[in-house]
Chains A and B, each alone.
Chain A
Amino acid sequence: MGKYILKRILVAIPVLIGITIIDYAIMCLAGSPLQMLQGPRVSEAAVEAKKIALGLDQPAYIQYFVWLGQLLHGNLGYSMKSYQSVSSMIGSHIGPTLLLMGVSLIVSLLMAVPAGIYSAIHQYSKGDYAVVTLSFLGSSVPGFFLSLLLIYLFTVRLGWLPSSGMTTLGTQSGAGDVAKHMVMPVLVLSFSMAGSNIRYIRSAMLEILQQDYLRTAKAKGIGRFLVINKHALRNALVPIITVIGMEIPVLFGGAVIIEQIFSWPGLGLMTMSAISNRDYPVIMGVCLLSAVVVLAANLVTDILYALVDPTIQLD
């Protein structure tokens, strides 16, 4: 087991290095920070001096290593707009995003796991068809369109829920207020994710239900309830772990669009405004962070597999 984990980590290291190279290459492709300086008021000599000060006269691979060295010290560079350090900007925006992503992940699992298992147990029943059709709807509705519909219904027509921000301006914000602001973004994110997850859990569960050990359990006559809840559910942990692993990158992507629509003050909103300002250090900092998180999530998923499923091949 220890050997397997070590091997997975060793495979992840070149991928991690590759991610930093891609990230750096995209940032270089996007344009040099000197372009911001250029203008009628700035002399050639000043630009040249800045170039040397920033180390831009060095060959690209040396610049990369300098950047990587800074990175290891937690320095992601500085925003071209606000001159704040990217790491402090990320630090101040990550809380709301983690809150939104975490709650959405839990809600989507609460939707997908029972629905998927129900569907598999009652395969080809009316309920199964309803669940599967609904899950197709979930993966076919664009998140932003669903958001617009919800805003139209709950904010404009009914006036029940606020449609933007995280707290009501000018009030003493409590947890209830934040929860109210979260309802719609969480619904949209988790509904979209639940769509594909329901079908995944359903087919994984169908496969489990056909296994010999379940036939044995049924043959022992321990009853349908015990068969499903004791034997089948424990084995359904593997697909559930897979689903969580798959959701992490989707969540990061979805958060960008959903935060923009609901003005949720997190990383996604910060990234969208950086994209419209062409503020590349910020954009690439977020990209790098999310890629590393996704990589780590995949690694954890693989290790959890090995822990949960003793039959998995460890070589």
Chain B
Amino acid sequence: MNSESYMQTVIRRFRRHHLAAVSLLVLFVIVAAALLAPVIAPYDPDELAGPFSGAPSREFWLGTDQIGRDVLSRLLYATRISLLVGVMATVISTVIGVILGLIAGYFGGVADMVIMRFTDMVMSFPYILLVLVAAAIFKPGLWNIILILGFVDWPGIARLVRGNVLNLRETNFVKGNIVAGMPLRHILFSEILPNTVAPILIYATSVLALSILDEAALSFLGQGVQPPTASLGNMLNGAQSLTVLTTQPWLWIPPGLVIITVVMAINFIGDALRDALDPNGC
């Protein structure tokens, strides 16, 4: 009866979420614009191009900043940087979380206890505080921010993977592999890991959304990506001054809207994925 392949099912279920489908399109456009920034940006993002604090005009669509740089060009490059930070931090924390979760779940015993207690400890520190402290110690900067966010945000994934592995270890196909004397590497990476990819993927979308928000918050506070490199957060930094806030809304509203759009699109997609990848759904 059911001749639909797994991928077809997933795509069919995903398309039921109209908001997610729209989000995918929006995100695609934003990512493309960010990737093509060097081609489509009208001006050099770090060079003075026009008047100081110029209002939006035909020449400068989003106006110019306090020292005469083109805001649109900076926005394109900033999106590029913020997406880079988000994606890299998510990759790092996912890899760490998956490895620790696999070890804790599969081997159990002392390894499990040590890893899970360590996870508890890291989770006890409020996330933003830990990131701020790390940024203060390791000097803020692009790669340090990526590493810090990546190294602080793994506990959630580790817990998730551990839970899944604990369940999978009791299934017959894994037991069969153990009895058949298959090598450990094969059991872990070819049998267990593929069966826990869906929840990891779903969780990773929320980590991605959070990483982008955290980069923005850190850079806004001046502890993240450092100028002149533009990031969505540090473009908003100027709005802490009252003049910018009141009289130059073109400097701070566009980056804020880009952050909201990107994060919301990612959240909608994650929500639709949760539904689409659910093994018990219809």
Contacts and interface: CB of A to CB of B under 8 A. Distances in A.
Interface of A: 14-15, 18-19, 22, 26, 29-30, 133, 136-137, 139-145, 148-149, 151-152, 156, 249-250, 252-254, 256-257, 260-261, 271-272, 275-276, 278, 283-284, 286-287, 290-292, 294-295, 298
A15 B121 contact: yes
6 contacts: A26-B133, A249-B124, A253-B126, A256-B126, A275-B132, A294-B124
Contact of A252 (B129, B133, B240, B256): B129
B44 interface: no
Interface residues of B, dominant DSSP: helix
Contact of B256 (A148, A151, A156): A148
Contacts of B136: 30, 275, 278, 283
Interface residues of A, dominant DSSP: helix
B252 to A, nearest CB: 6
Contacts of B128: 253-254, 256-257
Question: Size class of B's contact patch?
Answer: 35 or more
B256 A29 contact: no
B217 interface: yes
Contacts of B123: 249, 294
B264 A140 contact: yes
Interface in B227-268: 236, 239-240, 242, 245-246, 249, 252, 256, 259-260, 263-264, 267-268
A141 B255 CA distance: 12
Given A142-B263, A148-B252, 11 more contacts: A15-B117, A18-B117, A136-B264, A136-B267, A140-B263, A144-B217, A148-B245, A253-B127, A276-B222, A283-B133, A295-B120
Contact of A290 (B125, B220, B267): B125
Contacts of A139: 209, 267
B117 to A, nearest CB: 6
A195 to B, nearest CB: 9
Contacts of A141: 260
B125 A291 contact: yes
Interface of B: 19, 117-118, 120-130, 132-133, 136-137, 209, 213, 216-217, 220-223, 236, 239-240, 242, 245-246, 249, 252, 256, 259-260, 263-264, 267-268, 271
Task: Output the residue of B129, B137, B209, B239 with the most chain A CB within 10 A.
Answer: B129
Contact of A142 (B129, B137, B217): B217
B132 A15 contact: no
Given A145-B256, A148-B239, A257-B217, A140 B267 contact: yes
Contact of B249 (A29, A152, A290, A298): A152
A61 B152 CA distance: 25
Contact of A294 (B125, B216, B220): B125
A271 B129 CA distance: 9
Contacts of B209: 139-140
